[in-house]
C-alpha cells in the first residue's frame, strides 16, 4: 500500500473519515486499542464514523497472502459478545470500498475507539499491579478466552494473549484481538494463557519462553535458574495466597485440576477482595527473600511456560490473630434488610444513538406478559444492523435504591444485555463497566448486581438482538416484563 494514497481527511467507504495515523511502539504510551506494534506505516488510524457521528479506529489491510485470513479473523471477532473486548464494528472487503480507494487495499476493519494504555507499557513503567486490579483483570481475561473458545470459529483460534493485548482503561480492562486476526492459535490452554498474563501483571515478568507463545513481549523473564521460574508470591511476597494458588492452578501445577475456560472468570470473581498487606521496612540495598516451607516438583508446561518451582510459604506470627487487611466479622444488633421487589416508576425506550427513543417502554412494566417493549427490526445483522452500538430501556425507580438484581422476560432468547446504574438520568449511550451483563439472555434472565449498587436509574442496554419472529433476515428484541429487586436506603 502506498501511504500517500491515504491521508488525513480521506473518506473511506463513504463513511469513515481518517483523522490521525497512529504511531505506537511495542511499549508505547497511551493509545487506543488496535494500534499497531512497531512501524505502523499508516495502517492504523483514528477516524470518525460520519454516519453515526462517533470516533472509531480504522485498520487498513494491505494486499498480501495473509489479507484474507486477517479479514476472516476480524469477521469472527465481530461475533464475540460481552464487554471484555474492544469490539469489531465493521469489516469491509475491497469490493465494498468506493472506486479509487481499493487500489492498494484488501479491505479495512473498524473497531470501537477505546482510550487507555496497554498493560505491557504500564508494567514496564510502573511495575506490578496490586492484587485487586489483577483479580479484575483475571475476570476480563477469563470472559474473553471463554467467549473465543465458545465461538469455536477456525478463523479465530484461541489467541496467545500477551500484556500488549490488554488495554487498561479508566474503568477497567479490555482485550484487543487485532494482533491475532489471521494468526495461528499456538499451543496452550485457555487457563494457561490467562495465567501467563496474570503472572505478568503480578510480577512485571513474562514467564513464556516458547517461540510461538504470541507476539513478542519486552518484559524480562522471571529471575532465577534458567528454565525454572518462581511462583508470583516468590517474586512479590505480598501477593495473596489465594491469587498465587489460582495462577498456579491455571498452569496445571496446583493441587486441583486445571480449570476449563468457562470456569476462569468465576474463579477470579470468587477471590476475596482485600486491602493490600503493608510492606515491611527493608534496609537499603538488601533484598528480603521469602523462605519456602516446601518445594514442589518442577513441571514443564507444554506450551513453553518456564518450569514453575511451586512453593508454599505460610509464616505464622505467634501473636497474630487476624490477617492484616482482612476484616473481622462482627455480630450486628440490627440485621441488614433483605432484598425485596422494587417498584419501577417509569420505563421508556432509550435510543441516544438514534432519534432519542425507541418503542413503548411502559409496556415492559405494565404487569401484562402479553405486551412488551419492542425494538425496531434491524436488517441483516444482529448487532443492530451495524448501525449503532446499542439501544435500551431506561427504568426510573423513583428515587435512589440499593439494587441487587434485574430480571427480564424476553419473547425470544439470545439478546446480549448490559445493565448500567446511575443516580442521574442518562442522556448519552452508556460507557464503562456495566453493573451486570450476559452475552446471551434466556427467556427469563436474572442479572445479579454484585456488589449491590445505589441508583435511581437503570439502563437495560442491548448490543445484539435475537432473530425477529415477524420478519425474515431481521433482528429485534422484545422485553415482556422487567423486575428489579433490592432495598430502599
DSSP class per residue in 422-475: ESS---S---S--SEEESS--SEEEEEEEEEEEEEEEEEEEEE-PBPSSSTTEE
Number of domains comprising the chain: 3
Confidence of residue 24 (pLDDT cuts 50, 70, 90): very low
**Same structural domain, 66 and 96:** yes
pLDDT at 111 over 90: yes
pLDDT attached to residue 42: 58
Please state the rounded mean pLDDT for residues 197-211: 85
- Burial string for 428-447 (b: 16+ CB within 10 Å, else e) reads ebbeebbbbbbbebeeebeb
Residue-level pLDDT at 325: 33
Q: How far apart are the C-alpha atoms of 129 and 136, rounded to whole Å?
A: 11
| Average pLDDT over the chain, rounded to an integer | 78
The answer to whether residues 395 and 433 belong to one domain is yes
Task: Say which residue, 4 or 263, is predicted with more confidence.
Answer: 263
Task: Provide the domain limits for residue 404.
Answer: 340-487
In the prediction, which pLDDT does 213 show?
54
- Same domain? For 264 and 128 the reply is yes
Region 257-271 average pLDDT: 89
Burial group, residue 411, by CB count within 10 angstroms (0-12, 13-18, 19+): middle
Pair (375, 463) in one structural domain: yes
Share of the chain above pLDDT 90, in %: 37
CB contact set of 303 (below 8 Å; sequence gap of 6+): 186, 187, 188, 189, 192, 208, 210, 212, 213
Q: What is the DSSP string of 227-267?
A: TEEE-HHHHSTTS-HHHHHHHHHHTT-SSSPPPPGGGHHHH
The count of residues in the chain is: 489
Final residue in a domain of this structure, among 116, 134, 165: 116
Residue 455: what pLDDT?
92
> pLDDT tens, 37-67?
333 345 889 899 988 888 899 999 988 899 9
> What count of other Cβ atoms lies within 10 Å of the Cβ of residue 205?
22
**Judgement on whether residues 242 and 190 belong to the same structural domain of the protein:** yes
Domain boundary among 116, 150, 183: 116
Distance (Å, rounded) from C-alpha 331 to C-alpha 329? Answer: 7
pLDDT tens digit string along 280-291? 433 333 322 222
148 and 193 both lie in a single domain? yes
Does residue 148 sit in the same domain as residue 239?
A: yes
Give pLDDT tens digits for 180-195: 998 887 778 899 999 9
Confidence class for position 478, pLDDT limits 50, 70, 90: very high
Give bridge partners of residue 402 from the DSSP assignment. Answer: 454, 487
Query: Is residue 315 situated within a structural domain?
Result: no
Residue 356 and residue 468 in one domain: yes
Is 285 within the bounds of a domain? no
User: Is 319 part of a structural domain of the chain?
Assistant: no
| pLDDT of 279 above 50 | no
Q: Rounded to an integer, what distance in angstroms lies between the CA atom of residue 35 and that of residue 228?
A: 34
- CATH number of residue 432's parent domain: 2.60.120.260
Q: Whose CA is closest to 22, among 4, 39, 9, 6?
A: 39
70-101: per-residue pLDDT in tens? 999 999 999 997 778 999 999 999 888 877 76
Instruction: Say if CB 160 and CB 186 are below 8 A apart.
Output: yes
3-state secondary structure of 121: helix
253 vs 168, more confident: 168
Same domain, yes or no, for 129 and 264?
yes
Is the same domain home to 110 and 234?
Answer: no
Q: What φ, ψ does residue 56 adopt, rounded to 5°?
A: -145, 170
Sequence-distant (≥ 6) Cβ neighbours of residue 237 within 8 angstroms: 288, 290
Residue 297 resides in a domain: no
Average pLDDT over every residue of 262-271 = 90
Q: How many angstroms separate the CA atoms of 354 and 407, rounded?
A: 26
The answer on 39 and 16 residing in a single domain is yes
More confident of the two residues 316 and 56: 56
pLDDT at 227 over 70: no
Contact by Cβ (8 Å): 81, 133: no
- 325-379: pLDDT as tens digits: 333 333 344 445 556 889 999 999 999 888 777 888 999 998 887 889 999 888 8
Whether residues 143 and 231 fall in one domain: yes
Does residue 125 belong to any structural domain of this protein? yes
Domain assignment present for residue 322? The answer is no
Percentage of residues in the chain having pLDDT higher than 70? 77
State yes or no: pLDDT of 307 exceeds 80: no
**Which CATH number do you get for residue 138?**
1.10.510.10
Single out the residue in 309, 332, 366 at which a domain terminates.
Answer: 309
The reply to whether 261 falls in a domain is yes
Helix, strand, coil content of the chain in percent (nearest 5):
20, 30, 50
Predicted pLDDT of residue 161: 92
pLDDT at 255: 67
Residue 278 lies in a domain: no
Amino acid at each position: 500500500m502506498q501511504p500517500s494514497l491515504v491521508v488525513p481527511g480521506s473518506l473511506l467507504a463513504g463513511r469513515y473519515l481518517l483523522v490521525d495515523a497512529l504511531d505506537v511502539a511495542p511499549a508505547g504510551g497511551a493509545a487506543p486499542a488496535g494500534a499497531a506494534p512497531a512501524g505502523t506505516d499508516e495502517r492504523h488510524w483514528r477516524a470518525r464514523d460520519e454516519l453515526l457521528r462517533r470516533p472509531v479506529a480504522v485498520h487498513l489491510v494491505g494486499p498480501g497472502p495473509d489479507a484474507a485470513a486477517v479479514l476472516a479473523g476480524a469477521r469472527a471477532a465481530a461475533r464475540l459478545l460481552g464487554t471484555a473486548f474492544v469490539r469489531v464494528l465493521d469489516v469491509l472487503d475491497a469490493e465494498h470500498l468506493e472506486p479509487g480507494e481499493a487500489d492498494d487495499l484488501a479491505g479495512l476493519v473498524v473497531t470501537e475507539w477505546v482510550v487507555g494504555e496497554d498493560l505491557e507499557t504500564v508494567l514496564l513503567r510502573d511495575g506490578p499491579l496490586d492484587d485487586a486490579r489483577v483479580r479484575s483483570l483475571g475476570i476480563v481475561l477469563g470472559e474473553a478466552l471463554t467467549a473465543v473458545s465458545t465461538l469455536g470459529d477456525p478463523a479465530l483460534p484461541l489467541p496467545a494473549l500477551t500484556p500488549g493485548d490488554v488495554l487498561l482503561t479508566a474503568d477497567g480492562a479490555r482485550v484487543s484481538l487485532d494482533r491475532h486476526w489471521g494468526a495461528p492459535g499456538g499451543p496452550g490452554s485457555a487457563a494457561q494463557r490467562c495465567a501467563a498474563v496474570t503472572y505478568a501483571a503480578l510480577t512485571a515478568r513474562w514467564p513464556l519462553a516458547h517461540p510461538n507463545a504470541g507476539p513478542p513481549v519486552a518484559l524480562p523473564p522471571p529471575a532465577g535458574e534458567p528454565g525454572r521460574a518462581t511462583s508470583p508470591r516468590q517474586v512479590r511476597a505480598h501477593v495473596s495466597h489465594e491469587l498465587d494458588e489460582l495462577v498456579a492452578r491455571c498452569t496445571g501445577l496446583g493441587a486441583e485440576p486445571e480449570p476449563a475456560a468457562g470456569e476462569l472468570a468465576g474463579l477470579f470473581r470468587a477471590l476475596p477482595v482485600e486491602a493490600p498487606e503493608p510492606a515491611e521496612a527493608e534496609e537499603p540495598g538488601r533484598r528480603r527473600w521469602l523462605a519456602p516451607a516446601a518445594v514442589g516438583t518442577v513441571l514443564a508446561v507444554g506450551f513453553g511456560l518456564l518450569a514453575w518451582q511451586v512453593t508454599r510459604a505460610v509464616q505464622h506470627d505467634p501473636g497474630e490473630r487476624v490477617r492484616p487487611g482482612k476484616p473481622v466479622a462482627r455480630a450486628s444488633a440490627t440485621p441488614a434488610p433483605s432484598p425485596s421487589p422494587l417498584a419501577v416508576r417509569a420505563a421508556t425506550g432509550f435510543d441516544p444513538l438514534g432519534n432519542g427513543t425507541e418503542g413503548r417502554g411502559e409496556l415492559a412494566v405494565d404487569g401484562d406478559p402479553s405486551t412488551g417493549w419492542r425494538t425496531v427490526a434491524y436488517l441483516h445483522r444482529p448487532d443492530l444492523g451495524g448501525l449503532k452500538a446499542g439501544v435500551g430501556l431506561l427504568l426510573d425507580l423513583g428515587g435512589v435504591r440499593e439494587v441487587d438484581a434485574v430480571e427480564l422476560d424476553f419473547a425470544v432468547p439470545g439478546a446480549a444485555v448490559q445493565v448500567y446504574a446511575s443516580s442521574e438520568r442518562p442522556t448519552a449511550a452508556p460507557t464503562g463497566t456495566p453493573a451486570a451483563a450476559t452475552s446471551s439472555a434466556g427467556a427469563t434472565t436474572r442479572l445479579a448486581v454484585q456488589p449491590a449498587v445505589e441508583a435511581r436509574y437503570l439502563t437495560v442496554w442491548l448490543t445484539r438482538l435475537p432473530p425477529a419472529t415477524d420478519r425474515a433476515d431481521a433482528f429485534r428484541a422484545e422485553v415482556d416484563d422487567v423486575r428489579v429487586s433490592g432495598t430502599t436506603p
